[in-house]
């Protein structure tokens, strides 16, 4: 591959990587909004954000599918590419993308931990209610036995 070919590949790769970074910024924002919706117990908003994130991920995967072969080609000729104009900007964008991915993963870990905690709390509450219901039913049978009719009066009446 010639240096001119590599310049063209770099010129193609840059805008694609910028598009990925823009999508990652949106996904970062959505991950934070998803965590906030979970904390607010807003299931409607949580579902909407999840759909938006899915759409963003589809777009990200589509772009990545296009960029992957270009990235491999550029990496194979890194010694030449590293001296080309625009390489430093691309390297900086890669660092930004990696940071955004780490932020999204952290937000998702926090959200998953909150979901697990909420599920445990829900199960505990359900078990507590079941036990309390059984206890109340037993207590009712002891304290307030079923009322029987006035059988003695009815028979002798």
Which CATH number do you get for residue 38?
Answer: 1.20.58
- Do the domain assignments include residue 146? no
Residue 128: the pLDDT is 74
Q: What is the DSSP letter of 107?
A: H
Non-local CB neighbours of 72 within 8 Å, separated by 6+ positions: none
- Do the domain assignments include residue 70? yes
Which of 19-28, 35-44, 106-115, 117-126 is least confident?
A: 117-126
- Do the domain assignments include residue 124? no
Domain with 45, as residue range(s), is 3-111
On the question of pLDDT at 135 being above 80, the answer is: no
- Do the domain assignments include residue 86? yes
For residues 51-58, give the mean pLDDT: 92
Q: pLDDT band at 142, cuts 50/70/90? A: low
Residue 121: the pLDDT is 78
């Amino acid at each position: 591959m010639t240096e001119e070919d590599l310049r063209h590949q770099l010129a193609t790769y840059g805008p694609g990587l910028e598009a990925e970074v823009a999508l990652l910024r949106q996904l970062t924002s959505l991950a934070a909004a998803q965590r906030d919706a979970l904390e607010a117990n807003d299931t409607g908003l949580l579902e909407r954000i999840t759909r938006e994130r899915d759409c963003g991920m589809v777009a990200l995967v589509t772009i990545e599918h296009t960029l992957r072969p270009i990235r491999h080609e550029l990496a194979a000729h890194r010694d030449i590419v590293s001296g080309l104009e625009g390489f430093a900007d691309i390297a900086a964008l890669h660092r930004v993308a990696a940071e955004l991915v780490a932020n999204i993963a952290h937000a998702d870990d926090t959200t998953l931990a909150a979901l697990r905690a909420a599920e445990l709390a829900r199960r505990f509450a359900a078990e507590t209610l079941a036990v309390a219901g059984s206890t109340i039913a037993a207590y009712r049978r002891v304290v307030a036995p079923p009322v029987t009719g006035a059988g003695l009066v009815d028979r002798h009446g």
